Amino acid sequence: MVALGKASNAFLTWAASQGIETPLNLAERDDGRYVFCSEDIKAGQDLLSCPVSACIVADSLEGHTFVCWSERRLNTLLSKIELEGVAERLAYERQLGEKSKYAPYMDVLPTLDDDRLLSLPRFWDSKRLDLVTDGGQLLRRMKNDERKDIDQWALACVDSRANFLGDGTYAMTPLLDMINHDGSVQTRARIEKNKGFSGPGNVLHLSLGKDYSKGEEAFISYGNLANLDTLADYGFVTENNPCNSESIEVRMMQELEVFSTLEEGQGLGLLAKPISDRNELDVTSFIASTIAEASGEARAGANDTNDDRLIQKYLSERATLLDLALQRILAKYPGLEY
């Protein structure tokens, strides 16, 4: 822990002026800001109370119900249009500089030369991306998320920090976005209506399902996220992540049988012969060999990362999970050759 800088102190003063209440203290270390408990916190106690008026949103939140941060990517109501809306609002506030109501908040957000953003794969160079031997998962995810017409700084901040609000709305919430992730921490959020700090307005309340002692770093859950999700959106990977999932691409050629319909004047056609005619063990063997190959590629990639610990951890965890899948197949089919 190091002494708080000028920007952090100014932010805390601003947060208090906006009616943000919390038993948390802000701290700094080499890898960025984090929060710790200034007092013992019991399960169910508010970890943060923040007027919605202090949040950066794309539109009005009146009548909306808060859904916790963990639903930001998983909830099907989250649209790209809404995501871009908050990014555009954030970029606008940044352009206002000191004239922005949120200027002290802007000053503590990471910049494009900050390691907190540079850890996001969207900012990696091709040489580093080539080290990721995960069957193209990360590249496909990046291509799907890419939006070149939006301010890249703002979009990265929103992707890595925004909390989802019900009815397709979401926000950048000061201080909440500085709390680090622990998938094991049960996290609950709610909106209290018409309880504004200095007049009518809604207040966001965040609470946890565990106790914290004074001086402990506090964590919340961002959701049941696989390592691909946390790497792509947040720039970190969790070891032994109970929510991790991996995918592989399996291509099977179906046997095709040519048949003639000349008598009906329709020429030749193709009839697919179902692959279920084949031996079940052959199909299982093919899948097992594909899994083994993907695991081998991931493990080899982890060993060839040139001491890139983030990629190494990502690929090692992928290999571990794929090995577990292979073990389960072999437990069901002892002696299976693949």
Q: How do strand 32-37 and strand 56-57 relate by DSSP bridges?
A: unpaired
Position 261 scores a pLDDT of: 46
Q: Which helix (H) or strand (E) holds 46?
A: strand 46-51
Beta bridge mates, 217: 36
Distance CA 296, CA 336 (A): 18
Rounded Cα–Cα distance for residues 89 and 249 (Å): 39
Give the predicted TM-score (pTM) of the model.
0.81
Contact 259, 271 (CB under 8 A): yes
Compute CA distances 217 → 148, 181, 214, whole Å: 36, 11, 9
Q: What is the mean pLDDT of residues 47-76?
A: 63
Given a cut of 60, whether residue 223 has pLDDT beyond it is yes
Task: Tell me the pairing of strands 163-165 and 24-29.
Answer: unpaired
* Cα–chain center distance at 281: 37
Q: Please give the average per-residue pLDDT across 208-212, as a whole number.
A: 93
Listed residue (73, 102, 30) closest to 226, CA to CA: 73
Per-residue model confidence as pLDDT tens digits over 319-328: 999 999 999 9
| CA–CA gap between residue 61 and residue 133 (Å, rounded) | 42
Query: Which pLDDT band holds residue 189 (cuts at 50, 70, 90)?
Result: confident
pLDDT tens across 83-103, in order? 788 999 999 999 999 999 999
Contact predicate 310/235, CB 8 Å: yes
* Residue 284 · residue 336 · CB < 8 Å: yes
Q: What is the C-alpha separation between 316 and 94, in angstroms, rounded?
A: 39
Most confident of 162-171, 221-230, 273-282, 308-317: 308-317
Note the pLDDT of residue 63: 40
Percent of the chain with pLDDT over 90: 60
Query: In the 8-state DSSP scheme, what is residue 217?
Result: B
- At 222 the three-state DSSP class reads coil
- Of residues 51, 28, 162, the one with CA closest to residue 101: 51
